[in-house]
C-alpha cells in the first residue's frame, strides 16, 4: 500500500506552471528544483556546524582538502583550486586569508623552485580534525531519518546524475 507524501514547496511551483503552461512537461523541473532546494537547505545546516568553529564552507573545503591529502598535508595551489573547482585568483585570496588566520603556511616546493606548496599548520590541522568530526556527525544526523534502502537509492541516482554532468576527465 502506497503512503501519501507530504506536499513541498516545489509542488506549488509545479502546480502553477501546469496551470499556466499545460503544454509543458514540467516533471524535470520537479527533480531539478528539489535538488536545488535540498542543496540550499543542506548548505544552511552545514554552515551552522562550520560557524561553531569560526570557519566558512570554503575555509572548511580548503582545510579538509589539505587534510585528506595525507601527511604532510601539503598540496600545490593548482591542485587545490582544481580540486575545489575555483579560479586561481579566488584561491590566491583564500590562501592569503587562511595564512593570516594561521591555519596554513606556504613553503617552497622542493621539486620546483618556481612554486610554493600550501601546508596545514598545527593549529590548522587541529581545527580541521575537530571540524570534520562534527561535520560527519552532522551529516549522519541529517540523513538518519531516511531508511537504508532510500539512502542507497538516492546514492545510486546521484552517482548516475554526476556521471552525466561531470566531464570524464574528473
Question: Average pLDDT, stretch 120-145?
Answer: 98
Q: In 52-103, at which residue ranges do the beta strands (DSSP E only) sit?
A: 74-75
Average pLDDT in the chain? 91
Q: Are 158 and 150 in contact (CB under 8 A)?
A: no
- Tell me: the pLDDT tens digits for 28-54? 999 999 999 999 999 999 999 999 999
**DSSP codes of every residue in 117-150:** EEEE-HHHHHHHHHHHHHHHHHHHHHHTTS-HHH
- Domain that residue 84 falls in: 55-141
Q: Are 123 and 103 in contact (CB under 8 A)?
A: yes
**Residue 60 in domain:** yes
User: Could you tell me the strand order of the sheet in which 112-120 lies?
Assistant: 74-75, 112-120, 104-109
pLDDT for position 170:
47
Does residue 27 share a domain with residue 59? no
Does residue 66 share a domain with residue 111? yes
Q: Are 63 and 124 in contact (CB under 8 A)?
A: yes
Does residue 137 share a domain with residue 64? yes
Does residue 64 share a domain with residue 31? no
Does residue 116 share a domain with residue 43? no
Q: Are 131 and 53 in contact (CB under 8 A)?
A: yes
Total domains, the chain? 2
Q: How many residues does the chain have?
A: 170
pTM of the model: 0.84
What is the number of other CB atoms lying within 10 angstroms of the CB of residue 42? 12
Amino acid at each position: 500500500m502506497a503512503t501519501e507524501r507530504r506536499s513541498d514547496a516545489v509542488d506549488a511551483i509545479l502546480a502553477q506552471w501546469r496551470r499556466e503552461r499545460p503544454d509543458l512537461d514540467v516533471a524535470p523541473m520537479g527533480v531539478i528544483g528539489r535538488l536545488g532546494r535540498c542543496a540550499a537547505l543542506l548548505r544552511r545546516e552545514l554552515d551552522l556546524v562550520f560557524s561553531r568553529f569560526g570557519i566558512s564552507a570554503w575555509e572548511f573545503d580548503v582545510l579538509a582538502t589539505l587534510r585528506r591529502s595525507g601527511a604532510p598535508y601539503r598540496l600545490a595551489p593548482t591542485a587545490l583550486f582544481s580540486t575545489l573547482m575555483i579560479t586561481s585568483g579566488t584561491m590566491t585570496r583564500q590562501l592569503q586569508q587562511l595564512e593570516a588566520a594561521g591555519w596554513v603556511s606556504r613553503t617552497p616546493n622542493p621539486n620546483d623552485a618556481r612554486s610554493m606548496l600550501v601546508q596545514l599548520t598545527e593549529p590548522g590541522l587541529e581545527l580541521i580534525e575537530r571540524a570534520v568530526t562534527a561535520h560527519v556527525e552532522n551529516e549522519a544526523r541529517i540523513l538518519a531519518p531516511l531508511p537504508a534502502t532510500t539512502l542507497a537509492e538516492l546514492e545510486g541516482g546521484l552517482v548516475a546524475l554526476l556521471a552525466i554532468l561531470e566531464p570524464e576527465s574528473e
